[in-house]
Chain A
Amino acid sequence: MSGLGQRFGLWLAAMVALALVYGFGVHGRMRVETDLLAMLPQVERDALVESAVRALSDATGRRTLFLAGAPDAARARAAAEDLAARLRDSGAFSAVTLRIALDDGALDALYGTRRAALLSGTHRAWLREGAAARLGDDALRALYTPSGWLRARPFAEDPLNLYGDFLAQLLPAAGKVHLQDSLLVAPSPQGPYVLVAAETAATAFTLAGNARLEQVIAESIAGTEQAHAGAEVLCSGVVRYAAAAAASGTAEIATFGSISTAAIVLLVLLTFRGPRPLLLTLTSLAVGALAALTACHFLFDRVHLITLVFGSTLTGVAVDYSIHYFADQFRQRGEWDPRATLHHVGPAILVGMLATALGYLALVLLPFPGLRQMAVFSIVGIGAACATVLLAYPFLANRRAAAHRPAALALSAQLARIGTPKVSSGSALAALVAALAFTAFGLSRLVFVDDVRALQSTPEWLKAEDARVRELLGGGQDTRFFLIEGPDAEALLQAEERLREGLDALVARGALGGYQAVSRALPSLARQRENHAWLAAQVYSADGVLARTLADAGYAEPDIRARLQAFPREAPGLTPDEWLASSVSAPLRNQWLAAEGLAHGRGVASVVSLAGVNDLAALQALAQQDGVTFVDRVARISQVMQRFRKLAGAGLAAAFAVVTGALMLRYGAAGGARLIVAPLGGAMLTLATLGAAGVEANLFNVLALLLVLGMGVDYAVFMREGRGARSTVIMAIVLAGLMTLLSFGLLALSTTPFIRSLGLTVVLGVTFTFLLALLASGGDNAALARPPGHPR
């Protein structure tokens, strides 16, 4: 018996260590990820594309947009100023932008000194066609008509508006928003909305941080709307999605966790009576949860919220071992010795746990961060709970007689009879044919939808407000973009310029709303030299368009000569370093991926972002050019989901083959085949039910079947191994199955679609598998009559 004491001592020491590590290392430090996309496997085959996606989504993830609207401009402005002040005072944002200061000083320092090599796209086209005279016509119109007021610079400084037009094309395509008194204003029939942009220092990681940010946003909006009659504030930002996900996730964890726990308390009290089984059961569950959280905290940079939601129902699986252990007391009448029980059910519990863990292990092997976390959480959780049962229960459980026959046992006795075949072989055949027909019908109707929507769950109000903001702003940046690569900055910019010729053509015919590209603000040196050469030949030559225009305007000959002579002979090159060093480059800097490219040993890269995509095929056709990739993240995610679904399907088939082989080795060909009937039939019937019910299936249904296989084999093996005490075994399985059904049934209520898929599939799968296991094992009852020692 000292062995028991030693084992208990080992367990106790482990518990103390776990408590210390959790208390000091995990509690309050855990970083929680709420972005669903972070759960996905590396979607892009290409690491550079992946880091480009990350750079862009990090930038948008930190930004929250507000629109403060009112019936008239003055009140909208006042509301926006108030809102900006509230957001600033909250201290929750690193930057709050209301007024857009166009810094003429910085523009002139960067571009003004190099204007001899800069041209807008329009003017380049004119000079390429030799139509420089149009510059002169435009200049005269500016002198004699109000069109002159549209120019950025006065006539004397920029007679042909060459510099002014270059500056004008730098302004981003702003949709419906326009600059008014340094404010960005979006008009609407209800009155103007003023834009306020707020940026957080980093993406929020902790649940508390998310909740606080959402609270600041809600309070600032409510305060502004109260202080300004008739004002309305709209808000859009990734941060709100994170906060909504966190709120629903936290609510689900609390609900699922407490329902599971309440059910366990009820079940253990009703079945096993007395405080000690209850306390021990809860201890094993708590140990499992703490160990799982601790392991995830140390293994993963951030623990995903979905992992926690999934984990909150783990109790339903982990409680199985306690149930099997305590159920043993009903095996025979008389006093129950918990120490001896270890010999009776210990191996079965261990084998069962390992079988389930193997099922989860399959998920660990997939390069799918979200599933890997769930699997690690589950394996560690059930492992720790199982260890508690095996190491601590024999020492702590009380020795006593089972004084009652639990209702569950009576029920199980009834169930045990189901398997004993009283039905005629004719009706059994009919049932089999019906089941096969149903399976065939359901499977033929089964539809797989590998859509990214399977991942997303967003409250309707948030979607509606987002749509409002997008409508007011006149669209927004598309999720699709071009990635350009080159061995060095010059080659990259030239490649971008080639691509932009195609893009400009698409914009001209309405196939594309607009785009943002670095090379528009930073032309390649080759292009700068070309610009300079054209300007020298057609504009600044002695008989060029500038001299003629100035003469027409009445300038004196010496004045004109001086201006022509001031044109530099060499192109004053603008280099990427100079551009990056200027504050002017700030809006485009996150599209310049020099560092990312070099980090992947690939030279430099840049992103051309798109707005208003109307012709996808035409855009994709532009990616034929070398070094240009069209990145469609949403489509890629769906492709990856499909790839993984097929992979998981093949994996499932392989797992069935391996398990069947293992069962045949142990129980013989016929016995093994009989045992696999339940899990295999359960899986088929589950898919058929989904198909017949018109539920679209996806990757997560297939993955859930892997779990069903693990549990189904468990049931079959327990029934086979426990033939000697069929009703007790069935009771334990019934109770364990009920808990599994309850916990996964709760998952089927989750707001997250793919958690729902997992839950629904496991509920169906476990039910079918259990019933089939019961039916399939029935024939074995004959074996009860056989003498012990009969070969299996």
Chain B
Amino acid sequence: MRLLAAALLALGPAVATAADVFAFPATAQTFERDVATATRVLRDAQVLRGQYEQEKRLKGVPRPLKAEGDFLFARGRGIAWMTRKPFESELVITTTDIIQREGGRVSMRLSAAQQPSVRVVADVFAAVFALDFDALAARFKLYSRTVPGGWELGLRPHDGQGGALRQIVVSGGKHVQRVRVSDTNGDETAIRLRNTVVANKPATAEELKRFTP
């Protein structure tokens, strides 16, 4: 009996981890198979538009910090992330720059040449939205599985390269619906994307204007 108990104890963590996506290392094949429902939709997508809600939990702070707004993903251009609440602020992430606007005025502009972190953020955002296996695999160890109604992806930084980032879990159906970011110090950020509309036509001129400072 004691032997059995010991065996169960030893198995315990394995059983527990089997419950999350990080038990399923992904290859290019399994990745494509698992997220096929989304990549089929995203393959021809030029523009994704939708709303988001963000909830950040800082370790040692009881009250979560909530934000919401809308987003625009334009293939080849980048992502415009418009925060509406608790204050208005727009962050535009292109492949080479990050531009921040307050009330329509550029309040900060960082280029990838000045700041390596700009490129990391730009790459990861674009890769997550497009579910680009190669781009993700360049920065992360990948895990994937199907779950009822959709799929789940696990992203862990390659050894010693994540800085404060511990892991990211992305889940969805026809497109990305949830992103959960966990930092090594215990901070958690959960982002929910809602009412995502996929368009196969390029972004409008008005929308593209947002990607230039």
Chain A residues engaging chain B, CB cutoff 8 angstroms = 72-74, 101, 104, 140-141, 143-147, 149-157, 168, 171, 173-182, 474, 553-555, 559
Contact = CB atoms under 8 A, between A and B. Distances in A.
The 4 residue pairs across chains A and B that have the minimum distance between CB atoms = A179-B116, A144-B67, A554-B63, A554-B61
A176 B113 contact: yes
Interface in B77-92: 81, 83, 86-87, 89, 91
B62 interface: yes
B119 A173 contact: no
Given A156-B59, A554-B58, A150 B98 contact: yes
Contact of A171 (B58, B86, B116, B158): B116
Contacts of B62: 554
Contacts of B59: 156
Contact of B65 (A173, A175, A553): A553
Interface string B117-136: 11111010100000000100
A147 B60 contact: no
Interface string B134-171: 10001100000000000000000010110110000000
Contact of B54 (A144, A151, A153, A154): A144
A181 B89 CA distance: 30
Contacts of B54: 144
B113 A182 contact: no
Given A144-B83, A181-B158, 19 more contacts: A74-B138, A144-B65, A145-B83, A146-B81, A146-B125, A147-B108, A149-B121, A150-B118, A150-B121, A151-B117, A154-B164, A154-B185, A154-B187, A156-B187, A168-B115, A173-B114, A179-B116, A181-B139, A554-B58
Contacts of B138: 73-74, 180-181
Contacts of A143: 56, 58, 65
B60 A180 contact: no
A497 B175 CA distance: 52
B203 interface: no
10 contacts: A140-B87, A145-B67, A146-B121, A147-B98, A149-B117, A154-B185, A154-B187, A155-B58, A554-B58, A554-B62
Chain B interface, DSSP helix/strand/loop, else mixed: mixed
A426 to B, nearest CB: 78
A555 to B, nearest CB: 6
Interface of B: 54, 56, 58-63, 65, 67, 81, 83, 86-87, 89, 91, 93, 98, 100, 108, 110, 112-121, 123, 125, 134, 138-139, 158, 160-161, 163-164, 183-185, 187
Given A554-B62, A555-B60, A555-B61, A150 B117 contact: yes
Contacts of B139: 181
Contacts of A151: 117
A620 B86 CA distance: 50
Contacts of A152: 117, 163
Given A150-B118, A175-B113, A156 B185 contact: yes
Contacts of B56: 143-144
A166 to B, nearest CB: 14
A150 B115 contact: yes
Contacts of B87: 140, 144
Nearest to B135: A73
Q: Which of B63, B158, B161 is the most central at the interface, judged by chain A CB atoms within 10 Å of its CB?
A: B161
